[in-house]
Amino acid sequence: MYVPILKNRDQELKLMKNYSGYFSEKMIPLIEIIHEKKDEICTIEGIQERLNGKEAFIDYFTFDDETYGKNVGVNKCNIANDLRGNMELYFGKLERILKYDNLIPVVSISNAREFTKEDLKAFLLRIKQNNKRIAVRITDEYLYRYMTTISEIIEKQDFFMFDIREQDIESKFMENEQIKSSNIVARKIILNSPRHRSIKNGSYGEDGESGEDGEDGWTNLIDNSVALKYKKVGFEGFGDYMGLKDALPGKSGGGKGVALALIYLYSKNKFYIVINNDTIGDKKPVDQGLKGYKKVIYKINLLDSKEFEKRDCEMFKELDIMQSGKEKKNGSWSTWNYLTMVRYLDQIHRHMIE
């Protein structure tokens, strides 16, 4: 089973709408709600419309400064900010989605949201009284504290999500063994974020197979090994951000940065980087911002069609549409995030799900 993790931002909502046909019992999206419209029902109804009747996990997301930093643009993630430390609001949000048969509420436990054991047990039981399936998402530091409480309540039809975030799966040996030996009967999913927040686009240009700055190649900076190892360590499925970082919108953004494309290939379980490698002085990629995507697109078009499985690939179809017409568009930062997700989702669906 694969769980694509999306925040309810424009490009992820677009992906949800355009590729809801990929979703099934083998591929259920996890939607992190970070922003709400004034009428909160419109937010859920908008998600429902895009899902087209398919199932989804709903996680009312919140954050802490230690993990996500202090530059979070709270106006762009208003509900995630409002939920910080507000358990009454959180309980209310989850209870309101119980009426939707296809939406599975996620009770999320992390250093941004701690429960007492009593509150956790009471809340889980309240949801279970509605004959509702539930998912519990928990980070490694809280596993020992809540494992017994969780195992007493969740059932076979429920989901247990172990979130290791940016950590290596091999480093979680003790926790994985603890989960395997527990009394948890729910379906076990491991979540991770293999593309680290701290690594900027320009850093990928120093990581091509050639070893030279600004070169394209299969990057080692994204360790996607969870996709191969999840069954070996006792899980029925895995989830990730489809090549994106687990990052929140900042207080401000600009047009500067190094133009980068990430192209996932399932057979290698790696990302091929295509970067704007125009160089100056010390041979670092030039900070041309979005203008650099003109060269990135040129180089993508030169990639071998068979090796990169271009034929019938949804990402390349989307790219062709962008480049059609008199005014060829290079896209925005969010456009390339969208294309990264499309490619990843298409590869997983084509090789793992079908």
Domains defined along the chain, listed by start: 2-353 (3.20.20.70)
- Sign of the dihedral through C-alpha 173, 349, 338, 206: positive
The per-residue pLDDT for 38 is 78
Could you tell me the pTM of the whole model? Answer: 0.94
Over residues 26-45, mean pLDDT: 92
Neighbours of 70 (CB within 10 A): 7
The per-residue pLDDT for 286 is 58
| pLDDT tier at 14, thresholds 50, 70, 90 | very high
256 has pLDDT over 50: yes
Residue type at 35 in one-letter notation: H
| Under 8 Å between Cβ of 127 and 153 | no
pLDDT tens for each residue of 181-223: 999 999 999 999 999 999 998 888 766 554 445 678 999 999 9
Between CA 328 and CA 255 the distance in angstroms is: 19
How many helices (H) and strands (E) are present in the chain, helices listed first?
A: 13, 13
pLDDT tens for each residue of 258-317: 899 999 999 999 999 999 877 544 555 556 789 999 999 999 999 999 999 999 999 999
